[in-house]
Each structure stands twice: as structure tokens, then as C-alpha cells.
Structure 1
């Protein structure tokens, strides 16, 4: 019988992974900063337009605050990534795997194991059987 079982994907922290993640975080941060600058411009424009646009200015400020919060989270993630020692395993995500089970097989009902990836290459498959 074929069943679906959860398998964890973990990444081994390497210099390459750190650089890729840092670039991704930098890109996200700069995009959010550009969006914030645009929202500030729109907010000032709405404020100059008069009292009718005051509500729009409040919404712009809420969006600006959300962007600032996201930037803070990204900066925190960058700091945490920088502190991670090489060789550490980071859980990337969980996927579903098809497993063939038969009578007499050991089955613990938990996850189906772990796939360890280093620089985009599977280096180890750990099974729970």
C-alpha cells in the first residue's frame, strides 16, 4: 500500500548558502525601502491635498509602519544568519513523500525522515525505519 509521509528538508549552512541568503535579504530590504519612500511621497501628497485626503494619509502611514516592521524582521534575520556557524543544519521545509508499506513493516506514524542538502546537492537521506 502506498501512503504519504512527511519528510523534512534541511540545509547545511555553508558560505555559499550564507551569501545567497544575505543577497536575498538585501534585495527584500531594498525593495521595502523603495516602497516606503514611495508611500512617504504619496502620504505627503495626500496631506497637501486637504482634509478629504487625511484618511488616505493615515492608511499610507499604516502601510509605511508595516514596511518598517518587515525591514526590522529582515535585519534580525540577517543578523541571525551572520551568527550561524558553518555546518549548522537549518530546517527548510516539509514535503510529502510516497512510501510503500507492507504488513510486517515497522511504522511509528511519525515523519518519514530527513533529506539533508548542502549547496543544492542531497548529501544524506535519513530514514526513520
Structure 2
């Protein structure tokens, strides 16, 4: 039997990777900010011409804007962590899914123990 398991991917920080990650985080932050502005614009547009109640429109858009703001806060946190961490540190960047073979008699804790993929400058250096 095969199962799907999530495996964290960590990146070893180097000068190049810190710069790249900083650029990526700043791009994400700007994208979320633009999305918030676009949502506000769409909200005003709908409020002026819509037969939907203004409170319902505000509720929906406020919720979407709040989600973007939370993502912006998370990106800010990641940027702060990036500045604090020294080179050589491992930084969690994402999770990937892997297919794992499960057979009868296998030890569950060995199959499902915490595995990690570590990359450095775009190259996998460890799969633990």
C-alpha cells in the first residue's frame, strides 16, 4: 500500500540564498498589498452599482482583505527571521508531498518519522 506523506523542505542560508529569499518575500508582500488594493477597488465598485446589500459586500471583502493582511504579516515575520539568522542556518521554506510504501510488518514510526529535505543554493544536500 502507498500513502502520501508531507515532508518539510529546509534551505541552508548562504549569502546568495538570503538575497534570493529576501527578494521572493518582498515580491510576495507587494503582491498581497496589490491584491488588497484591488479588493478595495472592487468593493467600492460593487457598492455603487450593486443590488446586493452593502453590509454583505463589506463582510465578504473585509474577510478577503483580512486573509491577505495575515499573509503580509507572515511574510514580514519571515523577512525578520531571515535578517536575524546567520549563514549556515536552516530555514523552513515549504512542505512537499511524497509517496511512501507501507508493507505488512513495517515499523510505523520508521515510516512516519520526521523526514526532511535540505537544500543549499538550489541543490539537495540531504534527505534525512
* 1:84-111 deviations in Å (ceiling 9; x for gaps): 111112345567598xxxxxxxxx8365
After TM superposition, the structure 1 = structure 2 runs for residues 103-118 of structure 1, keeping only pairs within 5 Å, are 109=110, 111=113, 116-118=118-120
RMSD, matched Cα: 3.3
Offset of residue 120 of structure 1: 2.2
Q: TM-score, normalised by structure 2?
A: 0.67
Give the conservation status (yes or no) of the 8 Å contact 1:10–1:91.
yes
Q: Which residue of 2 aligns with 1:44?
A: 44
Does the C-alpha gap of structure 1 residues 49 and 118 become closer, same or farther in structure 2, counting only changes over 3 Å? same
Offset of residue 114 of structure 1: 5.9
Residue 52 of structure 1 aligns to a residue in which SS? coil
Does the C-alpha gap of structure 1 residues 34 and 124 become closer, same or farther in structure 2, counting only changes over 3 Å? closer
Q: How many residues align?
A: 114
Any unmatched runs of 5+ in structure 1?
Answer: 1-5, 99-107
Give the conservation status (yes or no) of the 8 Å contact 1:46–1:57.
no
Residue 90 of structure 1 aligns to a residue in which SS? strand
Q: Which residue of 1 aligns with 2:20?
A: 20
Offset of residue 17 of structure 1: 1.0
Q: Which residue of 2 aligns with 1:121?
A: 123
Does the C-alpha gap of structure 1 residues 53 and 38 become closer, same or farther in structure 2, counting only changes over 3 Å? farther
After alignment, is 73-82 or 114-123 more displaced?
114-123
Q: TM-score, normalised by structure 1?
A: 0.66
